[in-house]
């Protein structure tokens, strides 16, 4: 008899698990994992428990059971399935999402959804009590980042949703064998999820008891009464909050960034960039630029490996917004989604009479009837308040394995990550930031570029359109320790790095006097290749008040090379002039934001921002409301 067989949870687990599942669990010889499973089986009370290993047979069991339980349904193309969340469960639930922290830390985290830990635990554990009755629970082990690497974070989830477990099978690397060989058996993230009581359509009913609580002290997430993957797949944004918190304690970084490779075919060169963009600011379209390579589209871990700034994609798949994915704007993803034989989960789109998926902005004719998140759907259908019900949700998603993409870079499997040479922060405004600018140095890039990042609200946001909202580091929704400490960790990280990446800001959304965008969607390819050439000392630049901007002659040549377009001096001057008044207003908004949200920021940071505002006021007196490219001198 092993020591685990003597554990107090052993009789319960032997009762709930088949001999095969129990043996899989005990074979790991991990007391913390064993007691995690036992504790939450005892609390949640599922009828039975299935333990997954890394076998294809267990992956097949998850897929088939999700279909048998009607959590997913087969679509016309082989390998494609559809999942529907409830009518009011199709996006992140900020009001129900809390970070559980000690009482003395609550006041240091204004606006970061803090909740006193003991209070939050008592509430959510009460909600979870008996919540899995009548269901089978699944224990699935995964790994964030490549397995057996310096970046690896082991994860264990228990859930009563086979859709959730199937999603994790597509999105993350299998982790059973990783658990077997872990040196520190106590160090892993834990997740407890239940969809709760279900209606006749298999959707969560008790949305008033929907909770997503992250215990940042014990690195465990509790998610109850929801199915939308952004709330239920623990390894997605919940794990990101845990990792941000852990990285702050240990001195590495977890960022809301893509990882990609910019290719210079003429020189046979590949340069790795990472980029952080708020929603609707061009993150996916940048990571998926034609002619370049993608390593990851959402979350990156950064570590100092032998003095190099190295990054991995945390994930093994994509949980992407499907709206506006079409053959013209996103040809690579669209082609993948249309290909039979690939295992893809669609969610909250229309299933047409032909059993094919249809979504907003797909670029094809849409059937007049079918089935969607509201049940049977027909054109003109309204909700209980008389509002039209769209055929597909604006936050509808697709879930697929990353290596399905034709433009995947094999480096995404490198256990030591890739050496990052450029960091991009992308915002969205129509009248302030230039299309691309290089920061003078790392610290300035963080404080002046990343910390002042903003994004204009769009028609996809409830409320007034065109309002500038603070988006520091494009990570505000997921920062899980005091913002001042988070900024300091970013600045401090490059200590010991032989060559810190250059920091760039981009803005694809400048408009002319007629209200139209000044460049095409693909102009971003030129901006990124200019940054790539700067890194290798092959592009010139003008000094600007906040950094360095391209010279006209370089861009004119690059527009011809990459886009076969003419690029006029008139457009260049309009794009790259420094707009003094909007920048003064932007810095003052940032100061007010940090006074409110991060009052414990070091005085040094506030001095930088106040000094910059003063400098810009002086420049206004010298140059007027705008500074032409090349006209500025210090």
Angle at 580 between CA 576 and CA 584, to 5 degrees: 130
Distances (CA, A) of 403 to 62, 159, 173, 330: 20, 26, 12, 17
Three-state DSSP string of 105-140: HHHHCCCCCEEEHHHHHHHHHHHHCCCCCCCEEEEE
* Catalytic option among 52, 143, 254, 281: 281
Do 313 and 276 touch, CB atoms closer than 8 A?
Answer: no
Write the CB contacts of 621 (distance below 8 Å, at least 6 apart in sequence). none
Distance (Å, whole) CA 507 – CA 583: 14
Distance (Å, whole) CA 472 – CA 466: 18
Three-state DSSP string of 375-444: EEEECCCECCCCCECCCCCCCCEEEEEHHHCCCECHHHHCCCCEEEEEEEEEEECCCCCCCEEECCCHHH
Calculated CA dihedral for residues 313, 318, 323, 325, nearest 10 degrees: 90
Do 524 and 426 touch, CB atoms closer than 8 A?
Answer: no
Q: How many Cα atoms within 13 Å fall on the side-chain side of residue 250?
A: 14
Structure tokens at 564: 């076969």
Write the CB contacts of 213 (distance below 8 Å, at least 6 apart in sequence). 97, 98, 100, 115, 120, 121, 123, 124, 221, 222, 223
Straight-line distance from the first to the last Cα atom of the chain, in angstroms, rounded to the nearest whole number: 77
Distance (Å, whole) CA 169 – CA 519: 40
Structure tokens at 630: 């090349």
Look up 281 and say whether it is catalytic. Answer: yes
Q: Which of 391, 389, 386 is nearest to 371 (CA)?
A: 391
Q: Which helix (H) or strand (E) holds 239?
A: helix 237-250
Q: Which helix (H) or strand (E) holds 550?
A: strand 547-550
Q: How many Cα atoms within 13 Å fall on the side-chain side of residue 611?
A: 10
Do 37 and 158 touch, CB atoms closer than 8 A?
Answer: yes
Distance (Å, whole) CA 525 – CA 265: 14
Neighbours of 570 (CB within 10 A): 8
DSSP code, position 500 = P
Distance (Å, whole) CA 474 – CA 281: 10
- Residues acting as catalytic residues: 281
């Amino acid at each position: 008899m092993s020591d685990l067989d003597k554990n107090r949870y052993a009789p319960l687990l032997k009762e709930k698990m088949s001999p095969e599942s129990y043996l899989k669990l005990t074979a790991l010889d991990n007391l913390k994992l064993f007691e995690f499973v036992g504790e939450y089986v005892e609390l949640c009370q599922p009828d039975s428990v299935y333990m997954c290993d890394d076998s294809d047979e267990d992956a097949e069991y998850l897929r088939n059971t999700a279909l048998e339980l009607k959590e997913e349904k087969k679509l016309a193309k082989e390998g494609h399935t559809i999942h529907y969340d409830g009518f009011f469960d199709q996006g992140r639930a900020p009001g129900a999402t809390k970070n559980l922290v000690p009482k003395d830390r609550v006041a240091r985290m204004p606006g970061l959804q803090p909740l006193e830990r003991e209070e939050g635990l008592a509430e959510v554990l009460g909600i979870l009590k008996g919540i899995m009755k009548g269901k089978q629970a699944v224990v699935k082990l995964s790994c964030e980042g490549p397995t057996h690497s310096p970046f690896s974070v082991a994860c264990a989830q228990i859930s009563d949703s086979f859709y959730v477990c199937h999603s994790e099978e597509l999105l993350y690397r299998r982790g059973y064998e990783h658990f077997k060989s872990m040196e520190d058996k106590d160090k892993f993230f834990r997740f407890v999820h239940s969809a709760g009581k279900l209606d006749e359509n298999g959707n969560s009913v008790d949305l008033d008891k929907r909770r997503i609580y992250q215990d940042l002290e014990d690195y465990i997430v509790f998610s109850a009464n929801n199915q939308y993957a952004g709330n239920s797949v623990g390894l997605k944004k919940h794990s990101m909050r845990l990792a941000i918190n852990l990285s702050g304690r240990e001195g590495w970084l977890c960022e809301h960034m893509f990882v990609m490779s910019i290719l210079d075919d003429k020189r046979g060169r590949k340069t790795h960039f990472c980029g952080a963009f708020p929603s609707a600011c061009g993150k996916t379209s940048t990571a998926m630029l034609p002619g370049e390579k993608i390593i990851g589209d959402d979350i990156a871990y950064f570590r100092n490996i032998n003095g190099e700034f190295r990054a991995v994609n945390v994930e093994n798949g994509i949980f992407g917004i499907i709206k506006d994915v079409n053959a013209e704007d996103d040809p690579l993803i669209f082609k993948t989604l249309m290909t039979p034989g690939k295992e893809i989960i669609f969610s909250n789109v229309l299933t047409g009479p032909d059993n094919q998926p249809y979504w907003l902005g797909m670029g094809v004719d849409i059937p007049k009837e079918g089935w969607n998140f509201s049940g049977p759907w027909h054109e003109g259908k309204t909700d209980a308040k008389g509002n039209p019900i769209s055929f597909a949700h604006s936050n509808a998603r697709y879930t697929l394995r990353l290596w399905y993409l034709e433009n995947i870079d094999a480096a995404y499997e490198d256990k030591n990550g890739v050496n990052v040479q450029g960091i991009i922060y992308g915002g969205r405004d129509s009248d302030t930031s230039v299309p691309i600018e290089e920061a003078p140095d790392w610290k300035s890039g963080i404080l002046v570029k990343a910390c002042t990042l903003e994004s204009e609200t769009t028609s996809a946001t409830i409320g007034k359109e065109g309002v500038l909202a603070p988006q520091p580091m494009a990570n505000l929704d997921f920062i899980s320790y005091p913002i001042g400490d988070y900024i300091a960790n970013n600045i401090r990280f490059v200590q010991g790095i032989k060559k810190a990446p250059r920091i760039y800001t981009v803005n694809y959304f400048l408009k002319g006097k007629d209200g139209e965008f000044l460049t095409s969607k693909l102009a971003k390819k030129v901006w990124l290749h200019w940054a790539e050439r700067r890194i290798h000392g092959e592009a010139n630049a003008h000094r600007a008040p906040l950094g360095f901007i391209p010279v006209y002659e370089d861009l004119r040549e690059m527009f011809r090379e990459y886009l076969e377009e003419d690029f006029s001096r008139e457009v260049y001057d309009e794009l790259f002039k420094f707009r003094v008044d909007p920048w003064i207003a932007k810095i003052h908004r940032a100061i007010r934001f940090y006074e409110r949200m991060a009052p414990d920021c070091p005085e040094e940071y506030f001095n930088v921002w106040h000094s910059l505002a003063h400098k810009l006021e002086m420049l206004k007196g010298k140059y007027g409301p705008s500074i032409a490219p090349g006209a500025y001198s210090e």
